[in-house]
Amino acid sequence: METIDWLWILHPFLAVVLIYPLIGVVLRLGVQTRQRRLGTARLPATTGSEHNDLGQWLALGVVLISLVALTVVIATDKPLNQFVGGPARLVELLLVLVGTVVCLLALWRSSSQAMRFSFAFITWAGVIGLGAQPEVFRLGDNPFKPEFWQSHYWAGVAVVGLMLFSLGAKNEILRQLRWRRIHVAANVLAALLFVVQGITGTRDLLEIPLHWQKPALATCDWLTHKCVAPAALIK
C-alpha cells in the first residue's frame, strides 16, 4: 500500500475505532436515561448528563470524520499540480472546509437557540457543498432511483444532518418533552442509518482498488464484468 491508500482507509479506521463503539455507549446510556425518567430502574443521577455529554462528542466526531473523508477524496483524486480548476478552486474549497469547521465549533459553543440552529444548518450546507464536488463518488443523485438509496455518501449526509440537529437542539431536548420525543425518533433513524453505513462502507472498501491497480482496472467493462486479459496488456 502507498501513502494515498493509507489516507483512503483513515475515514473507515476512525469510524470503526472511535464512532461505532461510542454509538453503543450512547445508545445504552439513552435507554438507561429513559428508564430512570420513567422510574423503571434505579440508576445514578449522572446517567442523563453522561448520555448528553457523550452524545455531543459522538455528533462532533461524526461530522469531523465526514469532513476528513471528503477532504481526502478531493485532495487525492489527482496531484495538486493537476487539480481541476487550478489554485482558485483549491483556495475556494479550502475556505469552505475552514468555514465549515469554524461553524461546527461555533455550534458547539453557542447558547442561543437561533445561533445554534443557524450554525447547524450552515455546517450541514458546508458538508453537502464539499460532497457535491465531482471528485466525490456517489452511486446516484436521483432519489427516484434505487442507486440513490444504496449510496454510502447520501446515507452519510443524512447521518450528519441528524447529528447536527442533536447538537443544535441540545438545550431544548433537555428541557422539553416534545423535543425529547423528536430526539428519540431522530436517533432511531440515525441508528438504522449507521447500520446502513456499516454495510455500504464495507461494500465500497471492497470496490475501491489500491492506487497502483487503477490503471489496469480502467480497462475493465463494468457492465459485463470483463477485463482485458493480462497477455493482451503485455502486447
pLDDT tens-digit map of 118-161? 999 999 999 999 999 999 988 888 999 998 999 999 999 999 99
Model confidence at 230: pLDDT above 80: no
Model pLDDT for residues 161-207, shown as the tens digit of each residue: 999 999 999 889 888 889 999 999 999 999 999 999 999 999 988 88
Model confidence at 232: pLDDT above 60: no
Give the three-class secondary structure for 141: coil
CA distance 29 to 147: 35
Model pLDDT for residues 76-122, shown as the tens digit of each residue: 888 888 888 888 999 999 999 999 999 999 999 988 899 999 999 99
Model confidence at 74: pLDDT above 80: yes
What sign does the CA torsion over 169, 189, 19, 1 have? negative
Predicted pLDDT at 37: 83
Confidence of residue 231 (pLDDT cuts 50, 70, 90): low
Percent of the chain at pLDDT > 70 equals 97
Model pLDDT for residues 198-222, shown as the tens digit of each residue: 999 999 888 887 888 877 777 787 7
Predicted pLDDT at 197: 94
pTM: 0.88
Looking at every residue in the chain, the average pLDDT score rounds to 89
Q: How far is CA 172 from CA 11, 112, 116, 189, 235, in A?
A: 31, 11, 11, 19, 68
C-alpha cell at 6: 493509507
Q: Are 20 and 198 in contact (CB under 8 A)?
A: yes
CA distance 148 to 143: 5
> Looking at residues 69-73, what average pLDDT do you find?
94
CA distance 35 to 49: 14
Predicted pLDDT at 151: 92
